[in-house]
């Protein structure tokens, strides 16, 4: 299993697509160079065009005898600067990078100032008016628990089960940077970006406490906000269950 991070600006998401450059295609090109075979890889999640990942996992089955540390070095030598292999480890045969996931945490960054930050171009949404992050945080907490999130899903999603459980949801501020974090056992198509677009209604005076609870109950996409741009979204953390990997829960942050 490989742990990676990537800046998604130049890519049409993670998953391989026809006639579009993706993270998976670039990874497989590097794997083919290093392992002398185009091994199949399975990622932990799909990400949309322009979405970034602070932590992402994929697994592959290989008979190669290349040591893990050597594989990390060799692959990084073949990859562009916007994709990095962070680590590599052997996992049980029944491990699955996607289906063994227990929780995923997403992060959305908003640069909240009249003047844009050139160092966050393509990495955060620019909002020119001061946001009420405390109101947004109170509203975000209404996402907590188990709900039917069909009202926060774009058309085109392929899943029929739209119930998800959110374990964490918060909005914080550090200077001019506002961050929305949400952790759940699964996410629907564009779900986090619609969550953000709904929370941003507070900026227009169109969101008050209780509104998100009402929108969830309505199951009506038209009552939620717009889909926020992809540039501010990060897959931030991926957590596997205690039995998924040898040695217990493989979590990047254990405190």
Q: ∠ CA 205-208-214 to the nearest 5 degrees?
A: 125
DSSP letters for 57-69: EEE--------HH
d(CA 198, CA 227): 8
Asked if 4 and 84 count as a contact pair (C-beta separation under 8 A), the reply is yes
d(CA 170, CA 228): 17
d(CA 25, CA 58): 13
Catalytic residue status for 48: yes
Under DSSP, the state recorded for 211 is H
The β-bridge relationship of strands 177-184 and 101-112 is antiparallel
**Residues catalogued as catalytic:** 48
């Amino acid at each position: 299993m490989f742990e990676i991070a990537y800046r998604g600006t130049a890519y049409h998401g993670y998953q391989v697509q026809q006639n579009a450059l993706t993270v998976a295609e670039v990874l497989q090109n590097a794997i083919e160079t290093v392992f002398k075979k185009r091994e199949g890889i399975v990622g932990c999640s799909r990400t949309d065009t322009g979405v970034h990942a602070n932590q992402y996992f994929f697994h592959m089955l290989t008979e190669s005898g290349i040591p893990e540390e050597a594989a990390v070095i060799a692959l990084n030598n073949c990859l562009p600067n916007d994709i990095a292999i962070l680590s590599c480890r052997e996992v049980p045969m029944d491990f699955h990078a996607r289906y063994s996931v227990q929780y995923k945490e997403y992060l959305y960054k908003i640069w909240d100032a009249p003047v844009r930050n050139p160092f966050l171009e393509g990495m955060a949404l620019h909002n020119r008016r001061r946001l009420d992050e405390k109101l947004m945080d109170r509203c975000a907490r209404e996402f907590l628990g188990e709900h039917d999130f069909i009202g926060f899903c774009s058309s085109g999603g392929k899943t029929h089960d739209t119930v998800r459980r959110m374990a964490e949801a918060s909005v914080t501020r550090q200077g001019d940077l506002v961050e929305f974090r949400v952790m759940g056992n699964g996410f629907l198509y564009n779900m986090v970006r619609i969550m953000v677009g709904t929370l941003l209604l507070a900026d227009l005076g169109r969101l008050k406490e209780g509104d998100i609870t009402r929108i969830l109950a309505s199951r009506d996409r038209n009552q939620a906000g717009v889909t926020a741009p992809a540039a501010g979204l990060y897959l931030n953390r991926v957590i596997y269950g205690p039995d998924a990997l040898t040695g217990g829960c493989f979590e990047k942050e254990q405190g």
